[in-house]
Structure 1
Amino acid sequence: MLNIIEDTVRFPEALEKGRTITRTYKTYPYRVYQATSVLSGIDYGFSDEEGMFFRSTIDTKTQIVNPYEVKVSVTFGFRSREFDKRTDATIKYSVFMQFINY
C-alpha cells in the first residue's frame, strides 16, 4: 500500500545561515517498508533594494526511525554576498510511504 502526505513548513524571517525543521509522522498500525520525500514548491524572496544576487539551499531528508515512524527534515539556507539578508520561506513537500502488506 502506498500513502502520500503533502505538507508545508514555514521558516519565519531571520538572519541565520541555515535552518532545519523536522516533522515526524506516526504510521501505526501500518509498518513502513520504504519512505522518501520530494520537494514540490518553494516561495521565498527579498526586496529589490537588497540586491539581486543570491544563493539558496533547500533540502529534504527522510529517515525511517522505526517501523511505525518516519522523520522528514527540511533545510533552508539563504545568503547574498554576506549572511545578512533577512528572508523567510514557505517550502512544500510530499512524503511517499510504502507499507508492508500482510
Structure 2
Amino acid sequence: MTGFRIGNFDVDVSRCKISSAESEQVVEPKVMDVLQFLYSQRGKVVSQEDIFAAVWPNAVFSPSNVQRNIALLRKALKEDSKKPAIYYYSS
C-alpha cells in the first residue's frame, strides 16, 4: 500500500507523511504501521492485542506501545480524544 485517504488527510506510507490542506506531518515508521493496520481493519473493532500482534510480531505485549502510537496518530490527524471523528476502541 503506497497511500490512502482518511477524512481530509492524505497518507503517504512510503514517506511516513500525513498531510492536509492546512498541515503536513511526518510520523515515526511504527506510527505509520499502526495507521496502516487500522486502515486495513476499517469498519471493525480491533483490540490493543490485535494492533500489537500486527505491528510488533514476536514481541511481548505492551499496551503502552499501542497507546503511545495511537496518541501520536491522533495528534497527526488533529483528533480530539474526547470527541473523536476517527474511532479507536481500547480493550
Quick check: which has more Rg, 1 or 2? Answer: 1
Using structure 2 for the length normalisation, give the TM-score: 0.25
Higher relative contact order (CA 8 A, sep 6+): 1
Using structure 1 for the length normalisation, give the TM-score: 0.23
The structure with the largest helix share of the pair is: 2
The structure with the largest strand share of the pair is: 1
